[in-house]
Structure 1
Amino acid sequence: MRLATYNIEWFANLFDKNDTLIADDSWSGRYNVTKVQQIEAIAKVLSAVDADAILIVEAPNTGKSQNTVRALQGFAETFDLRTSQAIMGFPNDTHQELALLYDPEQLSVRHDPKETTNNRAPRFDHEFRIDLDVDATEDVVRFSKPPMELEVKSKSGFEFRLIGAHLKSKAPHGADNRDEAIRISIANRRKQLAQAVWLSRRVKAHVAEGEPVVLLGDLNDGPGLDEFEHLFGRSSVEILLDAGLYDPHAVSANSLRPGSIPSTARFPKPKEGRFLEALLDYVMISEDLRDRQPKWRIWHPFNDTGCWALPELREALLTASDHFPVTLDIDL
């Protein structure tokens, strides 16, 4: 079975208010890319990845007239993708939903944000209380993009929990000067770490119940991304690894001598005349899944030999998004 995560930049911009694709030559949200170019590139990437289930991060919007599931299923039908069904969890107000496209012949899936007996691990649409700055006062944390928690059963009958997440960005959006940027960056990192603790406690609660867990998505964290990462001692990724989850890219990047760090995203830095490469996207599994022959792959157009060898796929990956898919092949 192949599971995947893919952050598709500005996917919502490709649909009108009725969830119909806008396949024309108007500009998409991506620089110098038209809507029709991005649409075709996304379809090529999803076809090439050919996952049994793929988490779409920054999925189309759910709102007054729009519906994420309808948009994704319409997209899948248009391009004859075998991942013909879509499911989502709690909608949010950011126009960046979390949703799963999946093959109903291989998986049965339902949204199942069940309550836990452990009040230290509340549902993701509830509040989480934690003392973030050791001042003996609890802070109340909420997800702007509540993670999606699913009960999944494979064709063979194997059941597991799938959690799709998009953690808080650390970027100081809205800052007018350096002092304000520093303040916002630190506040954002504190909130992101709190979200990671919330996720880790939720994972531990499921593992304690004997449930295998797959956590995947954009964690907006990785080594060397900003100047404040040492301020709090641990990264979001390290918190989740300490919860008993495993992803080989995360482990290698967080080692003392990581060497060449894997990359799942590529952002232009026009003023510097270069691109910033970052490891942001992960597929983490609980320890009880590590004996099921897991194999990870980052579909990077330049670093993956299979992608590099196919010029059409390479160009599609660069056109579709500033992130690249991450897949896990595993015997379920």
Structure 2
Amino acid sequence: MRLASYNVEWFANLFDNEDQLLVDDGWSGREGVTRAQQIEALGKVFSALEADAVMIVEAPNTGRRQDTVKALEGFARAFDLRQRRAVIGFANETHQEIALLYDPDKISVRHDPRGEETGKKGSTGAPRFDGVFRIDLDNDGTEDRVVFSKPPLELAAETASGTRLRLIGAHLKSKAPHGAGSRDQMLRSAIENRRKQLAQAIWLRARIDAHLAEGESVILLGDLNDGPGLDEFEGLFGRSSVEVLLGEDMYDPHAREAFATRARAAPTTARFHLRDQGRYLQALLDYIMVSQDLMSRRPSWRIWHPFEDETCWSFRELREALLCASDHFPVTLDIDI
């Protein structure tokens, strides 16, 4: 079975209020890319992936007029993809949902959130991901109340071969300070964002621990917006959110390699244009982590990077599609389940 994680930049911009694809020359939200160009590129990428299920980060919006599932299933029909069914969990207010697009002949899934409903009062346990998590991160005697702007997607899954597992899709909060003024304000904002992201990782890790304690197999997929050496606050907090999620019993070879070497040659999954500097920044942000019990199932990971993966580089059409489709590149896991 092949599972994929893919952050699709501005996917929501490619659909109208009736969830129909906008195949036209209007700008997509991607720099210098029209909606028609991005849609065509995404069709090529999804077709090339040949995945049984794709965890889509920044999926189309669900709101008063729009519906993520309807939009994604329409996208699948447009390109005759066998990943033709979609599921989401708790919708959010950011126009960036987390959704799974999957082949129902290969895997069955259902949204299966765990944890208590907290309301505004919150909980110090591992509450449901649409709730409030209370935690004193800096041991100052004051609890922070943490919420997910994009609640992780918890799925109970069963493959066609009968393997049962938990799939969790995540998009942790970015650490970039927005709307800050002076340098001191930017610093405070960056530290606060970092604190919130670490709290989200601790919350998510507690849920993983609960599943593992019940003897369940777990696969975590998504954009964690974090990794070794990404900002100067790593030393301040002592660990990154990726390290929290990995723990001792989850595994992702790209994360392990990056933390082991902390080298410039570490794997990367995203490429951002820094217009004011006239260059591109590359980073490892996207992961597929598996529980230790799945390591006996011959897992094999791949980053579909247009410049670093030999096959992606060799096929010009695929290389150009990957560059046009998003500022992130897909990560896939092939595993015998």
- TM-score (structure 1 length as normaliser): 0.97
Query: Shift of residue 258 of structure 1?
Result: 4.2
3-state SS, counterpart of residue 234 of structure 2: coil
Matches of 1:115 and 1:153, distance apart in 2: 21
Structure 1 position 177 matched with structure 2 position 182: yes
Q: Residue 107 of structure 1 corresponds to which residue in structure 2? A: 107
Tell me, in whole angstroms, the C-alpha distance in 2 between the residues paired with 1:181 and 1:18. Answer: 39
Residues 149-298 of structure 1 correspond to what in structure 2 (within 5 A)? 149-242=154-247, 244-256=249-261, 258=263, 260-298=265-303
CA RMSD across the alignment: 1.2
Other structure's SS at 1:252 match: helix
Shift of 1:114: 2.7
Question: What residue is the counterpart of 2:57 in the other structure?
Answer: 57
What letter corresponds to residue 135 of structure 2 in structure 1?
I
Distance in 2, matches of 1:165 and 1:23, equals 29
* Contact 2:53–2:102 (Cα < 8 Å) also in 1: yes
Distance 1:159 1:303 in 2: 33
Return the alpha-carbon distance in structure 1 between the equivalents of residues 51 and 185 of structure 2. Answer: 42
Contact 1:247-1:282 within 8 A present in 2 as well: yes
Deviation at 1:177, TM superposition (A): 2.6
Q: Distance in 1 between matches of 2:124 and 2:154?
A: 17
One-letter identity of the residue aligned with 1:56: I
Separation (CA, whole Å) in 2 of partners of 1:241 and 1:98: 21
SS at match of 1:170: coil
3-state SS in 2 of match to 1:4: strand
Match of 1:330 in 2: 335
Unmatched 5+ stretches in structure 1: none
For residues 292 and 264 of structure 2, what CA distance do their matches in structure 1 show? Answer: 25
- SS at the partner of 1:161? strand
Structure 1 pair 103/207, CA: closer, same or farther in 2 (3 Å)? same
Task: State the 1:227 CA deviation.
Answer: 2.0
Q: Give the one of 143, 147, 150 matched to 1:142.
A: 147
Equivalent AA in structure 2 for residue 132 of structure 1:
L
Q: Distance in 2 between matches of 1:259 and 1:285?
A: 25
Which digits, 9 at most, give the CA deviation of each residue in 1:221-244, with x for residues without a partner? Answer: 012222222210000011111152
Contact 2:228/2:262 (8 A) holds in 1: no
Task: Supply the distance in 1 between the matched residues of 2:181 and 2:262 (Cα, whole angstroms).
Answer: 37
Query: Which amino acid is the alignment partner of residue 310 of structure 2?
Result: T
Q: Are the aligned partners of 1:252 and 1:258 in contact in 2 as well (CA < 8 Å)?
A: no
2:140 match: secondary structure: coil
Conserved in 2, the CA contact under 8 Å of 1:282 and 1:326? yes
CA shift, 1:149, in A, is 0.0
| Structure 2 length-normalised TM | 0.96
Aligned-residue identity in percent: 66
Q: Unmatched 5+ residue regions in structure 2? A: 117-122
Paired residues in the alignment total: 331
Q: Secondary structure at the match of 1:254?
A: helix
CA deviation profile, 1:16-65 (whole Å, cap 9, x unmatched)? 11101110001110010000000000110000011000001000000001
Compute the displacement of 1:256 (Å).
4.8
Q: Distance in 1 between matches of 2:261 and 2:324?
A: 34
Greater shift in the superposed pair: 239-248 or 165-174: 239-248
Residue of structure 2 in register with 1:77 after alignment? 77
Q: Which residue of 2 aligns with 1:26?
A: 26
Tell me how far apart the structure 2 counterparts of residues 100 and 144 of structure 1 sit (CA, whole Å).
18
Match of 2:43 in 1: 43
Provide the C-alpha distance between the structure 1 equivalents of 2:192 and 2:36, rounded to a whole number of angstroms.
Answer: 38
Note closer, same or farther for the CA distance 1:300–1:96 as it changes in structure 2 (3 Å cut).
same
Please say if residues 203 and 243 of structure 1, whose CA atoms lie closer than 8 Å, have aligned partners that are also in contact: no
Relative distance call for 1:305 and 1:194 in structure 2 (3 A) is same
Change over 3 Å in CA distance of 1:19–1:248 after alignment to 2: same
Aligned to 2:120: none
Are the aligned partners of 1:145 and 1:166 in contact in 2 as well (CA < 8 Å)?
A: yes
- Offset of residue 136 of structure 1: 1.5
Distance in 2 (alpha carbons) for counterparts of 1:229 and 1:21 = 41
